[in-house]
């Protein structure tokens, strides 16, 4: 072969090899297309997830109550359909676009707020720290897009072009990076509709770089404050519910007056033959007979006007260790707390507090919940004898507004206590301080009303009703009280 032909073959091999390498590179980095004899390389789509995967089905622990099996067979399908509809409405009320997974790509030239940008509904608000930081170019162009509001900026300089002002999509273009950033610093967001607690996502783009940041749309709340005054009476109200236990109630009241002579005591009474309870700063509210435990709690709590309420059972009694001031000290030092419980003298220590193991499960079957006595978290700072948990005994100091916010389900008439903390799971911060104690009266023939046990002890139908309530109301698949 002549030398000239060898050179041609070598050049051809080099060209083919180069083309193959280029094809392999393009396959790795993205797709390409030929148009007007120019190659345009499209970057690969991001492999980051756009949203968190749905919750998987949860596993019920051994000996759990499978709640669907408790439903009446002839009503099961209708109940399940109603629960599904109600749960979708619950999600619509409680979910937000702000729960969407956001992520930051590396080396972005875009500057934007990542947290704390809050606007009032229908109120123009400047978006802080918007900016572009990049190398010199002939022209710079950025895009902003939102879905629940509009974007505006000031009238631009002649060297800047603005499109889409007053709409959901805004673009700013300029040959001057300084002028472009000046206009970005004056971009405002205004929500399109009134909502007291919502959100939006803003998409900020320059060339192939894109960032997303949250916008919180929130109507400011008017504070509701309590005047703590100067003494315990202006800070705390004692509340209790009584039913057919007047001997125990009188012992409780006498013990309260021994240590707190002037404090207000509120009594909710649903006894069959109400007995008038007299005394200074004692408020007795007579209910229709046998309305139940939670109905009485709601009534008593509704009459409290102090910042805190102390709940006690009607068969407790105060001792020298029942120091309400210690509870108040903890609550005032840790404002995030909603409730702090104590201990009952003579009872098993691990039964003073409990927590829940809860998995949300999937949308169709619901969640799995287990109550565990003695399960606690870490100690409170500066209070080594107090620790966080999720439920306490019937001796606790609570913020009045927090208890009202959760409320007591009046359909639970007999034994019911954990259910309040189930309803408050995720919204109540609870702690226990074991060094604050209260006494528990012993049962005797003299203080026991034979009719009381009939209403106190839950029947099989009561247990079945409670299970059906957990299935629908709490969207549970199963529960276990361990």
**Residue the block writes with tokens 């008593």:** 300
Structure tokens at 90: 């619950």
pTM: 0.82
pLDDT value, residue 47 = 40
Structure tokens at 260: 């707190």
- The burial class, CB within 10 Å (0-12 / 13-18 / 19+), for 437 is buried
Domain map of the chain by residue range?
98-218, 232-481
Is beta strand 430-440 parallel, antiparallel or unpaired with respect to 339-344?
parallel
Residue 397 CB partners (closer than 8 Å, separation 6+) = 236, 308, 309, 310, 324, 327, 328, 331, 339, 340, 341
Given CA atoms 456, 459, 463, 469 in this order, what sign does their dihedral have?
A: negative
Question: Cα separation of 303 and 286, whole Å?
Answer: 13
pLDDT value, residue 4 = 53
The H or E element containing residue 434 is strand 430-440
Question: Cα separation of 197 and 178, whole Å?
Answer: 36
Question: Starting from the edge strand earliest in sequence, which strands make up the sheet with 209-218, in order?
Answer: 118-119, 209-218, 197-206, 140-145, 169-174, 160-163
Q: What is the CA 44 to chain-centroid distance, rounded?
A: 37
Q: What is the CA 132 to chain-centroid distance, rounded?
A: 36
pLDDT value, residue 15 = 52
- How many residues belong to the chain? 482
98-218 — its CATH code?
2.60.40
pLDDT value, residue 42 = 36
Q: Yes or no: say if 220 and 119 are a contact pair by the CB < 8 Å rule.
A: no
Question: Cα separation of 256 and 470, whole Å?
Answer: 37
Question: Cα separation of 156 and 98, whole Å?
Answer: 32
Q: pLDDT tens digits, the chain, 482 residues: what are they? A: 555 555 544 545 455 455 544 444 444 433 333 333 333 333 334 444 455 567 789 999 999 999 999 999 999 999 999 999 999 998 888 888 887 777 777 789 999 999 999 999 999 999 999 999 999 999 999 999 999 999 999 988 889 999 999 999 999 999 999 999 999 999 999 999 999 999 999 999 999 999 999 999 999 999 999 999 999 999 999 999 999 999 999 999 999 999 999 999 999 999 999 999 999 999 999 999 999 989 999 999 999 999 999 999 999 999 999 999 999 999 999 999 999 999 998 776 557 899 999 999 999 999 999 999 999 999 999 999 999 999 999 999 999 999 999 999 999 887 778 999 999 999 999 999 999 999 999 988 778 887 777 777 777 888 899 999 999 999 999 999 87
Question: Cα separation of 271 and 452, whole Å?
Answer: 10
Residues facing residue 479 across a β-bridge: 65, 369
Half-sphere exposure of 453 (CA within 13 A, CB side): 5
**Residue the block writes with tokens 């170019």:** 137
Question: Cα separation of 150 and 189, whole Å?
Answer: 6
pLDDT value, residue 17 = 52
In angstroms and rounded to an integer, the radius of gyration of the C-alpha atoms of the chain is 33
Structure tokens at 109: 């030239």
Question: Cα separation of 19 and 33, whole Å?
Answer: 14
pLDDT value, residue 481 = 87
Residues facing residue 370 across a β-bridge: 357, 480
Question: Cα separation of 238 and 322, whole Å?
Answer: 12
CA-closest candidate to residue 75, choices 474, 464, 479: 464
CA distances 419 to 188, 197, 373, 414, Å, are 46, 28, 14, 12
Q: Yes or no: say if 432 and 352 are a contact pair by the CB < 8 Å rule.
A: yes
Half-sphere exposure of 482 (CA within 13 A, CB side): 17
Structure tokens at 35: 């148009």
CATH code 1.10.10.10 for 232-481: no
């Amino acid at each position: 072969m002549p030398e000239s032909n060898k050179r041609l073959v070598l050049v051809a091999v080099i060209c083919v090899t180069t083309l193959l390498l280029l094809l392999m590179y393009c396959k790795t980095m993205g797709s390409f297309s030929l148009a007007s004899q120019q190659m345009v390389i499209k970057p690969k789509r991001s492999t980051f997830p756009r949203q968190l995967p749905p919750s998987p089905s949860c596993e019920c622990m051994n000996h759990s109550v499978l709640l669907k099996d408790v439903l009446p067979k002839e009503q099961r399908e209708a109940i399940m359909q109603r629960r599904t509809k109600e749960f979708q409405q619950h999600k619509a009320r409680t979910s937000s676009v702000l729960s969407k997974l956001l992520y930051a790509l590396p080396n972005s030239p875009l500057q934007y707020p990542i947290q704390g940008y809050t606007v009032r509904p229908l109120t123009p608000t400047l978006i802080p720290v918007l900016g572009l930081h990049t190398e010199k170019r002939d022209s710079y162009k950025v895009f902003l897009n939102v879905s629940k509001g509009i974007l505006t900026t000031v009238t631009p300089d002649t060297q800047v072009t603005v499109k889409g002002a007053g709409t959901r999509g805004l673009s700013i273009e300029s040959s001057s990076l300084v002028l472009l950033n000046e206009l970005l610093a004056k971009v405002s967001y205004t929500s399109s509709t009134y909502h007291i607690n919502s959100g939006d996502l803003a998409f900020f783009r320059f060339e192939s770089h894109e960032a997303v940041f949250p916008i919180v749309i929130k109507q400011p709340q008017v504070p509701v404050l309590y005047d703590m005054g100067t003494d315990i009476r202006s800070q705390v109200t004692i509340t209790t519910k009584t039913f057919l236990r007047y001997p125990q109630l009188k012992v409780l009241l006498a013990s309260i007056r021994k240590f707190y002579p002037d404090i207000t005591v509120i009594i909710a009474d649903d006894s069959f033959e109400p007995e008038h309870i007299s005394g200074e700063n004692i408020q007795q509210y007579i209910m229709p007979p046998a309305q139940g435990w939670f109905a009485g709690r709601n009534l008593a709590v509704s009459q409290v006007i102090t910042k805190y309420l102390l709940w006690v059972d009607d068969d407790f009694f105060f001792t020298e260790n029942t120091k309400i001031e210690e509870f108040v000290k903890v609550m005032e030092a840790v404002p995030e707390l909603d409730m702090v419980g104590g201990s009952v003298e003579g009872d098993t220590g691990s039964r003073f507090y409990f927590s829940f193991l809860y998995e949300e499960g999937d949308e169709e079957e619901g969640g799995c919940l287990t109550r565990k006595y003695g399960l606690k978290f870490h100690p409170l700072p500066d209070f080594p004898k107090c620790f966080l948990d999720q439920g306490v005994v019937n001796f606790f100091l609570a913020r009045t507004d927090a208890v009202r916010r959760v409320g007591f389900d009046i359909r639970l008439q007999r034994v019911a206590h954990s259910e309040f903390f189930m309803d408050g799971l995720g919204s109540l911060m609870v702690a226990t301080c074991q060094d604050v104690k209260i006494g528990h009266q012993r049962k005797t023939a003299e203080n026991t009303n034979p009719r009381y046990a009939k209403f106190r002890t839950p029947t099989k139908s009561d247990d079945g009703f409670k299970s059906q309530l957990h299935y629908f109301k709490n969207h549970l698949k199963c529960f276990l009280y361990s």
